[in-house]
């Protein structure tokens, strides 16, 4: 489920995932009309994609590289 809000008129549009699969052009249409994606019906903050989590193994390699560079 995605929630889209038009700030000027305070109008909310709800889109089901099944509708988006059938009609992907609906997103372009909403954006052209001035709608922005929001977190939920009650929370009108702009939606942000979740950040990718770095694996522990990659983080350890990165730290190890920094430590070896400082020693040289």
* Residue 72, in any domain of the structure: no
What pLDDT digit, counting tens, does each position of 45-72 carry?
888 887 777 677 877 888 888 777 665 5
Identify whether 63 is part of a domain.
no
Domain that holds residue 16: 1-47
Q: Is 17 part of any domain?
A: yes
* Region class of 34: left (phi > 0), else alpha (psi between -120 and 50), else beta: left
pTM as predicted: 0.64
In this structure, is residue 69 part of a structural domain? no
Q: Is residue 53 part of a domain?
A: no
Higher-scoring residue by pLDDT: 37, 70: 37
Q: Which segments of the chain are extended strands (E)? A: 2-6, 11-15, 35-38
Residue 49, classed as helix, strand or coil, is: coil
Number of domains into which the chain is organized: 1
């Amino acid at each position: 489920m995605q929630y889209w809000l038009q700030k000027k008129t305070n109008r909310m549009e709800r889109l089901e995932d099944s509708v988006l699969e059938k009609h992907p052009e609906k997103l372009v249409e909403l954006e052209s009309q001035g709608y922005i994606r929001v977190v939920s019906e009650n929370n009108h903050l702009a939606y942000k994609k979740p950040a990718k989590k770095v694996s522990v193994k990659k983080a350890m390699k990165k730290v190890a590289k920094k430590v070896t560079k400082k020693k040289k």
